[in-house]
Amino acid sequence: MEGVVRDGVPERRERLMESLRIYGGHCAELGRCSAARPGPHSANVTAVLEVTAAQECGIPCHRHG
């Protein structure tokens, strides 16, 4: 693809991958902490976090069913 500017793409890709690794580590730790304590299942905690993140980004969450 001629004429396409790709300045900074490798650096942005590496930052994204590092952020995803950090996110994955935090999610795994959340799951371990949730499993070790009585209370909501880690899947429920993850769902609440996802809904909250979507709302902060202005993405509407609809109830299905």
- Give domain limits for the chain: 9-56
Exposed e or buried b per residue across 29-45, where buried means at least 16 C-beta atoms within 10 angstroms of its C-beta: eeeeebeeeeeeebeeb
Whether this model's pTM surpasses 0.85? no
User: What was the pLDDT predicted at 3?
Assistant: 61
Which of 8-12, 31-35, 58-62 reaches the highest mean pLDDT? 8-12
> What is the rounded average pLDDT for all residues in the chain?
81
